[in-house]
Structure 1
C-alpha cells in the first residue's frame, strides 16, 4: 500500500495534487463523477494549505476496509492550526474572503472526514471516498 504525495508550496503544486488524485482515483476504479469529487476535494485542501500555511503536503493512498475499497486523502501542514473547527466547518465561513465552501465542501464531497488540529502546531485532515 504505497502512498503518493505532493508538497504544496506554490499554486502549481495544487494542480499537481489534483492530477495525482485524478490518476489514483482512476486506478482504484472510480467513475468520472467521483473522480471529479475527489479532485475538487483535493483542490480545496491544497488551496487551504497554500493560502493559510504557506507549505504542507497532500498524500493519497488506496485503502481497504473489509470488502470496501477507497481512496484516502491526507492534507497536513505545520501552520497556525484551526482555532474554531466547528466554525470552519460552517457553510459560508471564510477568513480569506473566498466563498467559504472549502472544508464544508470537502466534508460533503467525501464519505469520511476527520480534522486533527493544534493551534500553533498545524493541521491534519483525512478524507476518504469509498468505491460504490
Structure 2
C-alpha cells in the first residue's frame, strides 16, 4: 500500500449493526476524500462484504478506516482484522464466483475487483487481515 495515511477511525465488528456502522463510516470518509459517487459505491460495497466476512467467518474483529494521499491523489484505506480461524483454502476463497453464502455474493474476489489495492494476510488458527484502498480518479 502506498501513500501517507491520515489517522484511522476504528469500528469494532461484533454485530450486524456494526457492519452497517462500517458501511456508514467508509461512505463518510470516501465523501471527505472526494471520491466520485461510483467510487464511493464501490468501496462501500467492498467494505460491506469484508465487514460481513469479518463478522461471520472471523467471529468479529475491527475495521480501521483512513484517508491516504500518494502526492497525486487521495483515497480511502480500510483494514479489516480478526482473530478467527483464518482462511484454510485461500486460492478457493479468491476464486471468481466463489461464495460460501450469507454475504452479498461478491466473495473476496468481488471485493478485490471493486478496489484499486487489495492485500490479504491469513494464517490458519491466527486470523485474517485484509487491507483495501480505493483511489479518487
Aligning the two structures, in what range does the TM-score lie when normalised by the shorter sequence?
Answer: over 0.9
Shift of the alpha carbon at 1:70? 1.0
Structure 1 residue 5 corresponds to structure 2 residue 10 = yes
**1:1-132 superposed matches below 5 A:** 1-96=6-101, 100-132=105-137
Q: Helix, strand or coil for the counterpart of 1:125?
A: strand
Structure 2: stretches of 5+ with no match in the other structure: 1-5
Q: Helix, strand or coil for the counterpart of 2:100?
A: coil
Q: What RMSD, in angstroms, separates the aligned Cα atoms of the two structures? A: 1.4
Which range moves more in the overlay, 36-45 or 94-103?
Answer: 94-103
- Report if the CA contact (8 A) 2:94-2:109 is conserved: yes
Alpha-carbon separation, structure 2, partners of 1:104 and 1:70 = 20
- Report if the CA contact (8 A) 1:91-1:100 is conserved: no
Q: Helix, strand or coil for the counterpart of 2:10?
A: strand
